[in-house]
Amino acid sequence: MATLPTGRTGAPDGEAPARRLTIADIAARAKVSPSAVSFALNGRPGISPETRERILEVARQANWRPNYAAHALSTSRAGAIGVVTVRAPDQPLWSASFGGHFLAGVQAEIARHGVLLILHTVADLSDETVLYEQWLGERRVDGVLVINPEVDDPRLAELERTGLPAVVVGDTRGLSALSCVWTDDEAAAQLAVAHLAELGHRHVGRIGGDPHLLHYAIRERAFRAAAVAAGMHAHAETLDPDERGAETIRQLATTGDDPLTAVIVEDLEFAVHLTGALARAGVSVPGDVSVLAWDDGPSATLLTPTLTSLQRDIAGYGRLAAEELLAVIASGPRRAVQGTTTRLVVRQSTGPAPRP
């Protein structure tokens, strides 16, 4: 039962603590029935606007806040959703260009509904599935957002088996019956390759990420297909964001009869690092090598040359993912929804391919 505080949060020693107002108390003050109070506090129809406002005014005067424990008991809802990340203790949650913006969008959407976010970290996918079982048994969360689905991901079948409401953030169409929100990775790869092809580049590299992650695999397939269609020599690499990765690009760009003249970098932070490392090695960007970053962000414009980037509304992606999860929790239909549309932002780091 929802209750209302009387305005005191404690009492001196020897005095009984202040009693929270019940729905019956607020009904008596507003001179309405308890059911009318329930309708007003929960935003349900069935009462006149005047009655609703009178009830809410009494609640405001009493500094009313929902009693979430009582609400959870009455609705069998926890009032929270979960997001789990797999990472080592010393690693960041995600790249700065994605994770913070995505979670900000999730938080903005669920806050509108009075729902909380539980963010948890585990060591591997098996620990994550165990955590889902625990959350389900404890009714800790009402549903989960599944981040970074893998090509062969055991979480999907486990969530289908347990029935814990879930939305996958990734293109799992054809792989799982769970709802998913997905980004236009294939179209984005085609957009990037087309831009470089128009500038005359024929030997283009791609620096990807973890090949086990589904979105990286989708992007690599799309990159290779687009490169073949454009008559390019594609060179895909999974490189660490350090000097060794930059040295590999420098060697490809400065040796052989068919030097690399452009590179698409999956991680914005590494694109920034790579541009600086190439400059220190005497390789001009974009004179010798054009650099194109997959995601955009403030750091893309903090160096010279500024970075050409693929830009998408990541916060909006998070809002949509949260909206879909809330719909699934409310027994809505499972569906797959495109969450972002990518556009190309051309800046200084891409230019015409150098002549042989």
User: Residue 9 above 80 pLDDT?
Assistant: no
Q: Which domain range does residue 217 map to?
A: 185-311
Any idea what the CATH number is for the domain that residue 45 is in? 1.10.260.40
Tally the residues of the chain: 356
63 against 319, higher pLDDT? 319
Q: Are residues 191 and 336 in the same domain?
A: no
CB neighbours of 161 closer than 8 A, spacing ≥ 6? none
- pTM for the full predicted model: 0.78
Q: Are residues 44 and 155 in the same domain?
A: no
Report pLDDT for 12: 47
240 against 29, higher pLDDT? 29
In this structure, is residue 102 part of a structural domain?
A: yes
Q: Are residues 248 and 147 in the same domain?
A: no
Q: Are residues 180 and 322 in the same domain?
A: yes
Domain boundary among 55, 75, 95: 75
In this structure, is residue 352 part of a structural domain?
A: no
User: Are the C-beta atoms of residues 349 and 195 closer than 8 Å to each other?
Assistant: no
The number of domains in the chain is: 3
pLDDT digit string, tens, across residues 92-149 = 766 667 888 999 999 999 999 889 999 999 999 999 999 999 999 888 999 999 999 9
Report pLDDT for 11: 45
pLDDT digit string, tens, across residues 272-326 = 999 998 998 899 999 999 999 998 989 999 989 999 999 999 999 999 999 999 9
Q: Are residues 68 and 86 in the same domain?
A: no
In this structure, is residue 237 part of a structural domain?
A: yes
249 against 264, higher pLDDT? 264
Supply the DSSP string of 90-141, one letter for each residue.
TS-SS-TTTHHHHHHHHHHHHHTTT-EEEEEEESSHHHHHHHHHHHHHHT--
User: Are the C-beta atoms of residues 189 and 219 closer than 8 Å to each other?
Assistant: yes
Report pLDDT for 28: 87
Any idea what the CATH number is for the domain that residue 169 is in? 3.40.50.2300
Q: Are residues 147 and 241 in the same domain?
A: no
Q: Are residues 151 and 204 in the same domain?
A: no
Report pLDDT for 56: 85
- What is the band of 219 on the pLDDT scale with cuts at 50, 70, 90? very high
In this structure, is residue 356 part of a structural domain?
A: no
In this structure, is residue 325 part of a structural domain?
A: yes
Average pLDDT over residues 168-187: 96
Average pLDDT over residues 249-278: 90
Q: Are residues 307 and 319 in the same domain?
A: no
Average pLDDT over residues 248-259: 88
Q: Are residues 201 and 132 in the same domain?
A: no
